[in-house]
Chain A
C-alpha cells in the first residue's frame, strides 16, 4: 500500500511539472545561495588572516632609536645603535627568547647576464626562516647554519627577483652577481600573500648569511633584529626583558620608550582577533538573513501551492481519500522535493565553487572551501522551512469538509 502510494505520488509530481519545478527551484536556489554566500565569507576571512600573517606570526621587530630621557649622566637625544654581537647578547641573556636574528639591509646592484637591477639585499641568521615565514619552493632551501659558519656565497631570493633576473627559468643553482661578487642561488621563496612589511616585500628581496655579508660590507651596526618569544603569552614580558638587558648595556632608562622601538605583531594579532570575531558575527548574521530570505521564498511557494491544492485535496476527499492518506502524501512529496532540491542545490554550489576557484580572484577572496557544517545546517533548515510552510495548509485542507475544500 505504501509503495503503491509513493508510486502514485511520484506520478503526480511528474505530471504537475510547473508546480514541482517551481518548488524544486526555490529550494535548489535557496540552498545554493546560502552555501555559496557563507563559503565566500569563510574564504575571505581565511584569506585575510593568511595575508595578514604573510610577514610572520607573533614576532617582534626591534630597531635602535634615540633616547628621550637623560639617564646615567647622558643627556637625552643620544642616538643609539645595535652592534653585530647584540643579537647573541640578547639570546644569551633573555631566557624568554626562542628565535632571534639580526637583519642588515642595503640596496645593491645585481646582474645576471646582461640584466642589471637594484635589489634590497638582506643578511640574516637561519632562524629568520621560521619567524618570517620564508618558505622555500620545492627543491630549494633557506640559508642554514653551515652557510653561516663557512661564509658561503649563497643567496635565498624572492620569487619576483627570480622572475626579473631569470625570466621563466629556475634560478636554483644559478650564479647571480651581487655588487660584482658571484653568489649561488640556493633557494627561492614560494609565492605568498603579504600585507605587512617593514623594508619591502620578501618577494623583491635577496637574503644571504650575515657572516658572508659582513665579510664583504663590514657593517658595524645591525639595521634591526627580529625575535620571537618561546610562549606567545610571554611576549610582553620578553619585550621588557629585552629593554632591560639593552638598557643595562647601553645605559639608557628602561622607561625610555623611544630608545628601543619595537613593532610587536602580536598586538596586531589581537586587533585581528577582535576584527575576526566581529567578522564571524557578521557572517553569522548574513547567513541567518540569507536563510530567512530563502526560507520566506520557499515558504511562499509552498504555501501558494498547498493553497492551490486545497480544492484538489477536497476532490480527493470527496471520492474517499482519508485524512491520513492526504497528509502522508504531503509528507512524502515534501520529502522528495526537499531532498532533491537541496541536494541538487548543494551539488550545484560545489560546482560553482570549483568554477570560482578557477577564476583569477584568489588574491581577493582566497579559495572557497566546502564546509560540511554550513552545508548540512543550510539543507536542514531549508528543508524544515519547506515542510513547516506546507504543513499548516495541508493539514487544514485535509480537515475541511470536502465541499468547503473544493470551493476553496
Chain B
C-alpha cells in the first residue's frame, strides 16, 4: 500500500540546512499496524507528514496505492488527503469555532457528500468513538481524550485506506492515552491499516511491527 524509496527531506531555514530524513525506505502492506518510535528530533513527524501528503519529500519516490505522489497536482492531492488518508495530529487540530459534529462533518463537505448521508455517517462514527452525547460541544468544552476522539472520528469519517497518527496520545494523561490506544487497536482488528508514532514504551504490547527511526534513518 505504501512504498517509500530513498526519501530525503531537507529543511532550509535561512543559513542552516537540516536533513531530517536521510534516504529512508519503508514499505507498508494493507492491514498492518506499524508503530514508529525513535528519539525526539529523529524525523518521525517529518516522515508522517510526507506519508500523509501534508508535505513533499525533497527527493525520493513515494507511491500510495500505486500512484506516484510526484505526478499529482494540487487538486488530486487534496482528494487523496480527503478520501484515502485519515490523519490524526498530536495536538488534535480541531477548528475551535465548530462543534464536534461540525468538525467531523467537514471532510464529508469537502468530498461533496449529500446531507442525509453526512448526518448518518457523522452520527455513526461519533457513536463508534463513544461521543454520541458530546456532538454539540465545541473543542474547548471537551477533555483532551474526547478531543482526540473527535479528531479520530474526523480521520475515519471518509473511510480512508490508511490511518496516520502522529503521537495521538502525546498530549493525554495515561488513562485516556490507554483508551485511545485501545481504540486504535480495535480499528486495526476491524481491518484498518494504521501507522502510529508513539513514545509509549508499551507500544510493543499492541503490535510487533516496530519501526525505529534515528537521525533520519530506519535502524
Q: Say whether, besides A321-B78, A323-B75, A406-B93, A316 and B54 are in contact (CB < 8 Å).
A: no
A320 touches B54 (CB 8 A): no
The minimal Cβ–Cβ distance linking A361 to chain B, given in whole angstroms, is 45
Interface string of B92-104 (1 = CB under 8 A from A): 0111011000100
Count how many chain B residues have C-beta atoms less than 8 Å from C-beta atoms of the other chain: 28
A403 touches B107 (CB 8 A): no
> Which of A8-16, A149-157, A260-268, A369-377 binds B?
A8-16
A404 touches B52 (CB 8 A): no
B110 touches A322 (CB 8 A): yes
Nearest A residue to B87 via CB reads A318
Nearest A residue to B78 via CB reads A322
The minimal Cβ–Cβ distance linking A273 to chain B, given in whole angstroms, is 58
A317 touches B78 (CB 8 A): yes
CA distance A317 to B89 in the complex (A): 14
Nearest A residue to B94 via CB reads A315
Within 8 A of B (CB), among A1-33: 1, 4, 8, 11-12, 15-16
B72 interface residue per 8 A CB criterion: no
A404 touches B110 (CB 8 A): no
A319 touches B110 (CB 8 A): yes
Count how many chain A residues have C-beta atoms less than 8 Å from C-beta atoms of the other chain: 24
Within 8 A of B (CB), among A370-393: none
Q: By CB atoms of chain A within 10 A, which of B78, B89, B94, B102 has the most?
A: B78
Q: Say whether, besides A325-B110, A406-B93, A319 and B55 are in contact (CB < 8 Å).
A: no
A403 touches B49 (CB 8 A): yes
Interface string of A327-350 (1 = CB under 8 A from B): 000000000000000000000000
The minimal Cβ–Cβ distance linking A95 to chain B, given in whole angstroms, is 81
CA distance A8 to B94 in the complex (A): 16
B112 interface residue per 8 A CB criterion: yes
Which B residues are CB-close (under 8 A) to A8?
109
Nearest B residue to A4 via CB reads B109
Binding site for B on A (CB under 8 A): 1, 4, 8, 11-12, 15-16, 311-312, 315-323, 325, 401-404, 406
A sample of 28 inter-chain contacts (CB < 8 A) reads: A1-B112, A4-B109, A8-B109, A15-B97, A316-B95, A317-B78, A318-B54, A319-B81, A319-B82, A319-B87, A319-B106, A319-B107, A319-B110, A320-B79, A320-B82, A320-B110, A321-B78, A321-B82, A322-B75, A322-B79, A322-B110, A323-B75, A401-B54, A401-B56, A402-B54, A403-B49, A404-B55, A406-B89
